[in-house]
């Protein structure tokens, strides 16, 4: 079984660029990844592309071949859709393909154009990742759904909005030097507490923004990297996927993420490592409570204790185990189809030592990426390691 190396990574700035099309964004990210990895486009054997709302935002389906063309690649292309975990799913499938020996070079990534829809339009488009019959038609939105999860967590384990505020403050602080981040400005706990309420207990600063952007990763087999003399010291050594019931009312738990736990356990076992080995993580913090649920599901914090991890300094940049050094979805942005692959980009750079925040994890050798779809009905987890 071939080891899967990350040869090159590319990322557009995430932000509010309604004039840019998805193909334009993906072309930019792809060019950056090819330049970073020094891999010729002619060697690419397939494109694995994540996108969620292309039909609604751009009236464009069948985006795989379109994005391959935008990237300058002549190879079969497939679009993967798993809501906000779309490109995480694309990464997993590409890893499996290279491991089997079927392919040696794959372009993997995702893109989303969202801001052209406006706030109301984007909110409506995002809502289709929930159960239309039993949630959407009743007026449920994702801020409302995550607010219910936060309320359930507070009832079961304790904590309050101020605890969540420390997560938002941390992630904005991490995004300050990240030129790709949508929000490069500091906020305070008071800012979070006093911000307009979106859905109790969550406010404006507990929520990720509507974003445009694209991310790409060039994955290669160990044999290809060796034969072509590539400097690709980071490998994806573990991959896992978990699922849960679609609608919240059908779940056994509201204050936990079983799908993420399943995916994490599978990824750790696949990589032959444990949560104790993890030095840094990028997790899916679409809302501040989501970061708490993620780090507990991944066993990076004990269940019931993740709520105080940022407040107590355990997950800040110079803490025991930094979480979301990129700024996370909260501050870096969340162009949903691009998010999963963008986490691979950020972790690769952090582990290689060429990320703007690498100084905080200069000795790191193991990173974990956690990408969730909807209210975590879908979860993808990947382990990255420095393998030299």
Residues belonging to the active site: 84, 334
What is the C-alpha separation between 153 and 208, in angstroms, rounded? 20
Is residue 236 within 8 Å of residue 177, measured between CB atoms? no
What are 209's two structure tokens? Answer: 């923004």
Name the one residue in this structure whose structure tokens are 């008071």. 190
Is residue 361 within 8 Å of residue 279, measured between CB atoms? yes
Task: Name residues whose C-beta falls within 8 Å of residue 285's C-beta, 6 or more positions apart in sequence.
Answer: 167, 171, 208, 291, 294, 324, 328, 329, 330
What are 271's two structure tokens? Answer: 């990589």
What are 185's two structure tokens? Answer: 């400005």
Task: Name residues whose C-beta falls within 8 Å of residue 336's C-beta, 6 or more positions apart in sequence.
Answer: 52, 53, 83, 84, 86, 112, 114, 126
Closest CA to 300 of 278, 326, 273: 278
Is residue 286 within 8 Å of residue 84, measured between CB atoms? yes
């Amino acid at each position: 079984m071939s080891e899967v190396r990350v040869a090159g990574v590319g990322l557009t700035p995430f932000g509010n660029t309604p004039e840019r099309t998805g193909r334009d964004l993906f072309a930019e990210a792809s060019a950056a990844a090819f330049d970073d990895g020094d891999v010729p486009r002619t060697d690419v054997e397939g494109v694995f592309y994540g996108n969620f709302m292309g039909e609604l935002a751009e009236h464009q389906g069948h985006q795989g071949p379109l994005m391959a063309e935008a990237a300058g690649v002549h190879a079969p292309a497939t679009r993967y859709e798993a809501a906000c975990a779309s490109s995480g799913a694309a990464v997993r499938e590409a890893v499996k393909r290279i491991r089997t020996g079927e392919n040696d070079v794959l372009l993997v990534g995702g893109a989303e154009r969202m801001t052209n829809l406006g706030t109301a339009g984007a909110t409506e488009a995002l809502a289709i990742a929930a159960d239309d019959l039993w949630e959407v038609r009743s007026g449920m939105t994702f801020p409302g759904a995550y607010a219910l999860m936060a309320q359930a967590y507070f009832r079961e384990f304790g904590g309050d909005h101020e605890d969540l505020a420390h997560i938002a403050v941390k992630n904005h602080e991490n995004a300050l030097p990240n030129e790709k981040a949508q929000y490069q400005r500091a906020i305070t706990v008071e800012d979070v507490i006093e911000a307009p309420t979106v859905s109790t207990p969550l406010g404006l600063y507990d929520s990720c923004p509507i974003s445009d952007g694209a991310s790409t990763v060039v994955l290669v087999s160990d044999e290809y990297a060796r034969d072509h003399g590539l400097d690709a010291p980071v490998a994806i050594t573990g991959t896992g996927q978990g699922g849960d019931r679609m609608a919240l009312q059908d779940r056994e738990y509201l204050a936990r993420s079983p799908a993420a736990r399943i995916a994490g356990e599978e990824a750790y076992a696949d990589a032959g490592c444990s949560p104790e080995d993890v030095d840094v993580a990028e997790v899916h913090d679409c809302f501040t409570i989501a970061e708490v649920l993620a780090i507990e599901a991944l066993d990076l914090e004990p269940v019931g204790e993740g709520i105080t991890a940022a407040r107590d300094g355990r997950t800040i940049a110079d803490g025991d185990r930094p979480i979301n050094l990129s700024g996370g979805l909260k501050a870096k942005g969340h162009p949903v189809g691009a998010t999963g692959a963008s986490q691979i980009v950020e972790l690769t750079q952090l582990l290689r030592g060429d990320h703007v925040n690498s100084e905080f994890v200069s000795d790191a050798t193991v990173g974990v990426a956690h990408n969730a779809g909807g209210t975590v009905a879908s979860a993808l987890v990947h382990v990255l390691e420095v393998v030299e």
